[in-house]
Chains A and B, each alone.
Chain A
Amino acid sequence: MNENDALPRGLRKEERGISLVWVAPIVAILITAGIIWESYINAGARITIVIENGEGIKDGKTAIMYKGIKIGVVEDIRIMPDDVSMLEITALIDKESSDGITREGNQFWKVAPKVSITEVSGLDTIISGVYIAVMPAANSNEELMSRPYQDHFIALDSPPVDIFDPGLSLIVSAADKGDVSIGAPVLYKKQAIGIVEDKKLSTDGEGVDLYLRIQSRYADLIHEKSVFSKMDALQVKASLSGLTLKMGSFTSFLSGGINVSNTQDTFASPKVKQKQLFSLFESFEESLLAEDEVHLNMKEGSHKLEAGLSKVYYRGVEAGLVSALAYDLTKEETQVQLKLHKEFRVLANKKAYFWLVEPKIGFDHVEGLDTIIRGNYINFTTSDTKAKPKRAFTLNDKKPQREGVQVLLHARNLDNIQEEMGVFYHGLEIGLVSSYAISKEKQSFIIELVIEPQYRKLLNASSLFCHKSGFELKAGLDGVELKSGSLETIVRGGIAIETPNFQADARLKKSYKLYGSDAELRKAEYLSKKGIFLSLIADKLGSLKEGSPLYYKQIRVGEVVSYKWNTQTKNVLIDIFIIDEYANEIHEDTLFYNASGLNASFSLSGLEINMESLETIMSGGISFYTPVSLEAKTARNHEQFPLYGSKDAAMNQYKDVTLYAKDSYGLIAGNTVMYKSVAVGHIESVSLNKEGVALHLKINSRHADLIKEDTLFWSEVFEVSLQGVKNFSAALKGTYIVIEPGNSGNKGEYFHLMPKKPVAHFKEKGLRVVVQAQRLGGIQENTPLYYRQLRIGSVSQYRLSDDATGVDIEVFVEPCYAHLVRANSYFYNASGISVDLSLSGAKIETESLESILTGGIGVATPDDAAEQAKDSQLFVLHDEIDKKALKWAPKLYSSDPMCE
């Protein structure tokens, strides 16, 4: 047994040899070695990349990225020992990736944020810093691994082609580089489908070859017939209908771009192979142009066309453009070269007609308005689309003649007739003026119209033509109507056609008359009917004029043809025309009267307006009335009739009466003359003479008997006073004249006009006495006179007595009661009420109820009645009745047998 073991544990001798604790440093060494191995020796591959610009690259931080994944890090960056212009980067690639990265053909490039006006890329690097991206040389692992080892690379300036999406490489040859720069987008329907990778002068030095790369997924879009054209960064299209401004993408605006367009048949064409050649068009439109040019020559005139800009239209559709202009000095003609669209090329054939469109603006004529915006352009048309194409044409400066039915017009005055003016049938354009010329006789113009064949049936021998202006103004009671044709006709005018009779001879006349206006045409249309002409003799023309209508029972039956002044008879001779079917209504005794204006009569019962038609208000008119008489013969052609000023004048005969007055009292011509509230005549005129006013009355001959030598005339004026309203009807009708026929057997002609109605009972039979009162009291004209409370007369007038001590009241006593008033009769004021109060009661006395209101005069005759009072005998008016007088009761008998 070991001695040591026998010792207590604490005293045992320490074991010699290697202690277990030495495992610790061994493990430590192993671990450290492991870490170092892992970190350095086994970390991955180290590669060197030569780069031109090291901006932003930081050792230890800048990553090597592959498809966005970090596969390594830049360990060191330094200037290349043998080339100070370059930098050399040492990068450590992760172990997993190192095998693939260290292969020949791999491409490295620096990705830095690029924000320029044309491009924004690598935005992620703004935050993360720049990085170095790698693109493998092959897209399959085996292929990549089969490549030889390489650890030294030269970085590219720009991203290489994506090996995983190599896309479709195309070569597009352009005449010049234009605005397309490397990196410019290739767009299809504004979607970027590729980029311009490179551009080189073509081998022949004639143009520039642009190398495009189309992304694989869009490669199917490119067919052999695809059209490559330069992007229009800014496209301005202006026409009368508006302005379109189109701008491409901002990128294309700055760096240019290439547009790929496909048409319907593009997709039918075969797909393209890599490196296929295309040509670049200036614009898409250009690609549509046919390859050969059409030559036009123009002898004279300025064309104001511009090569490359001026357009060619085929019936309004854009069909090509002017490609070149030249002036041939030897031939002295302008040569214009056109490039037409492929589909329009065939239309430039033997039957084609080219003409220049330029703006022509006049007050009456606007043409080619669109050219103001579009510029002058060339239009062409062909009458036969199947004809054989041709290359050389003449450029005309006029539109081609239209085909259609020719119609000749003759006119005294050309007015504003222009070529190309429209011909309208009720507003429908059916043709145009093709030409005009002075006739052989040098007296008129011959105008040639071309009517479109389908409208031929609208014309026949009865057709009428008139010059049509743009505006027609019609004014009527219902307003003013302004009728205008289309804007074109307003500016240009035109020719209107009217065919009144479609049953007429369908053949066209050799030449038609062109009427100057619509009205003229209407007249002609009217006069083309059958009828008779009559002459009317009038004092004055009034508002009548040529064309004024003739009405019969408010039917238009004719019109005024003309009028003239008859120097011998000093009156107006009006020729009228009446349509045949109404001619029989005109008899020898027919009365013609002027129906111009309107006739309004106004009375308390209402307003009555009489007029023939609205037209007569405006333009005047004639009407006639034929009395029923069987014997009368119908009128002959050109027979003469008098024309009365009004219907009234025609129908009624009048007696002339002249009144003299100091004043006209507001009377004016037209005021009525009344008798018993019936109109018997009217004032014809009012004139001044030395003494005053002379009023000429027309009294209807039926009432002529009223006018006697002693007939009274006075004016009735509307009056308003405290005492009442007088002659209210005069307020409405105007002042009028009232007549009071006389009894004389002699007729009179000149009279005096009284200013107002003569006193009551003027010239009546009866007794007139004068009652003198101190005051007038309530007495007025017509205040009644009572005898035993019976009305026997009234107050006819009153006045201040000559010495002004009282009032003289003239009292009229009716003839049958005249015997009641005696020389000793007692007159008293019967106005008011007398009230007698006594113990037995109240007693009220009044002459009559009327007397309470209007007052009254009472008369009593004593029992001892004297002789009958004489006219103008004076009496005293007592204020109160004498009690005695009430008891008087004389027996009086009238001597007049009429009063029985």
Chain B
Amino acid sequence: MTHDDLSMDKAFCLHCKHLSSAQLHICPVCNEPLRQRKKNSISRTWALSLAALCFFIPANIFPIMKTLSITTYENNTILDGVFYFYKNGEFFVGTVVFIASIFIPAVKMLVLFFLLLSVKIGSRWRREEKNSLYKAIHLIGRWSMLDIFVIGLMVSLVQFGEIAVVTTGYAAPSFAAMVILTLLATESFDTRLLWDEKGKK
């Protein structure tokens, strides 16, 4: 009848962060239902992470930016951009772009899957470090949208008619969707699950 995993009689309101008695069921401050864990956390995280992973593929294989100018007609994938910077000696910028656009989304998804699997098997191994990992991806995940901002700016600014026009490729919406989905997936993961005993809910 009672939840095994409610180890304590206190409940932390996920909405207003007010700690109140678990018996109340409803947060006395913000009137939100009190929950011990995020709703459907594992399932949602799985679904969103997988969706993000789906978008990761077109985001990287299709051109993110199409440049049309009188001299050139170019389709650039994200990796093309990275290579471009490296080729031109801009290692720092190339690295930033690579980390922000490819490495971080990929790492985020990997971390999420790792955490999900950890919860699944109920591993108790290095739970603190896992928590830190989560905090890290939660913190840096939003910066991945930088790419989209840059492209958005480029597309809106570089509209010089015959001389140069920049348009977005398939990768851009895919990339944006991927970043949003990883953010949502990260958000939907409840780190407290890492501490829950396996089979002991």
Interface, chain A (partner B; CB < 8 A): 3, 8-11, 13-15, 19, 21-29, 31-32, 35-36, 38-39, 60-61, 63, 70, 73, 127-129
A14 contacts which of B40, B53, B55 (Cβ < 8 Å)?
Answer: B40
Can you name the residue of chain B whose Cβ is closest to the Cβ of A60?
A: B75
Q: Which of A10, A25, A128, A129 is B51 in contact with, Cβ under 8 Å?
A: A25
Answer whether residue B72 sits at the interface, using C-beta atoms and an 8 A cutoff: yes
Question: CA A128 – CA B35 in complex, angstroms?
Answer: 63
Evaluate contact between A10 and B40: CB separation under 8 angstroms.
no
Which residues of the other chain, A, contact B25 by a CB distance below 8 angstroms? 8-11
A21 and B48 contacting across the interface, CB-CB below 8 Å? yes
B33 and A36 contact, CB distance less than 8 A = no
Q: C-beta contact mask, B43-64 vs A, less than 8 Å → 1, else 0?
A: 1100110111111011000100
A128-B71 in contact (CB<8A): yes
Distance in angstroms from A290 CB to nearest chain B CB is 59
**Chain B residues within 8 Å of chain A by Cβ, number:** 37
B98 at the interface (CB under 8 A from A): no
Q: Report the bound CA distance from A15 to B58 in whole Å.
A: 34
What's the minimum C-beta distance from A691 to chain B, rounded to whole angstroms?
123
Contact between A31 and B73 (Cβ–Cβ < 8 Å)? no
Cβ A36 vs Cβ B58 within 8 A: yes
Cα separation A36 to B26 with both chains bound (whole Å): 48
Asked if residues A24 and B26 are in contact (CB atoms below 8 Å), the reply is no
B113 within 8 A of A: no
Q: Specify which of A10, A24, A61 is in contact with B72 (CB 8 Å cutoff).
A: A61
- Determine the distance from Cα of A21 to Cα of B48 in the docked complex, in whole angstroms: 7
Question: B97 on the interface (CB 8 Å rule)?
Answer: no
Known A-B contacts A10-B25, A129-B71; A28 and B33 likewise in contact (beta carbons under 8 Å): no
Which has the most chain B C-beta neighbours within 10 Å: A11, A22, A26, A31?
A: A11
Q: Which of B50, B51, B53, B71 contacts A127 (CB 8 A)?
A: B71
Report yes or no: A10 in contact with B44, Cβ–Cβ below 8 A.
no
Q: Do residues A28 and B26 form an inter-chain contact, with CB atoms below 8 A?
A: no
CA–CA, A61 and B66, complex, Å: 11
Interface centre among A3, A36, A70 (most CB of B within 10 A): A36
Q: Across the A-B interface, how many residue pairs have beta carbons closer than 8 Å? A: 95
Q: Which residue of B lies closest to A30 (CB)?
A: B54
Contact between chains at B36 and A10 (CB < 8 Å) = yes
List B1-24 residues whose CB lies under 8 Å from chain A: 1, 3, 6, 11, 22
B70 close to A (CB within 8 Å): yes
In this complex, which of A10, A14, A32, A128 has the most chain B Cβ atoms within 10 angstroms of its Cβ? A10
Q: Decide if A32 touches B26 in the complex (CB within 8 Å).
A: no
- Is B181's CB within 8 Å of the partner chain A? yes
Contact A61-B54, Cβ < 8 Å, known A9-B25, A11-B3: no
* Neighbour of A21 across the interface among B3, B40, B177, CB < 8 A: B40
Using Cβ atoms and an 8 Å threshold, which residues of chain A touch B3?
11, 13
CB of B39 closer than 8 Å to a CB of A = yes
Interchain nearest-CB distance for B95 vs A (Å): 25
Q: List 19 A-B contacts (CB under 8 A).
A: A8-B26, A10-B25, A10-B35, A10-B36, A19-B40, A21-B43, A21-B47, A21-B188, A24-B47, A25-B47, A25-B51, A26-B51, A28-B52, A29-B51, A29-B54, A31-B58, A31-B177, A61-B74, A73-B73
B82 CB-CB contact with A under 8 Å: no
Q: In the complex, A129 Cα to B68 Cα: how many Å? A: 13
CB neighbours (8 Å) of B101 from chain A are none
Chain B 150-192 per-residue mask, 1 if CB under 8 angstroms from chain A, else 0? 0000000000000000000010001001000100000010000
Assess A9 versus B50: contact at CB under 8 Å? Given A14-B39, A19-B40, A32-B58. Answer: no
Contact of A22 among B43, B52, B54 (CB under 8 A): B43
Query: Is A32 in contact with B57, judged by CB distance below 8 angstroms?
Result: yes
A10 touching B43, Cβ below 8 Å: no
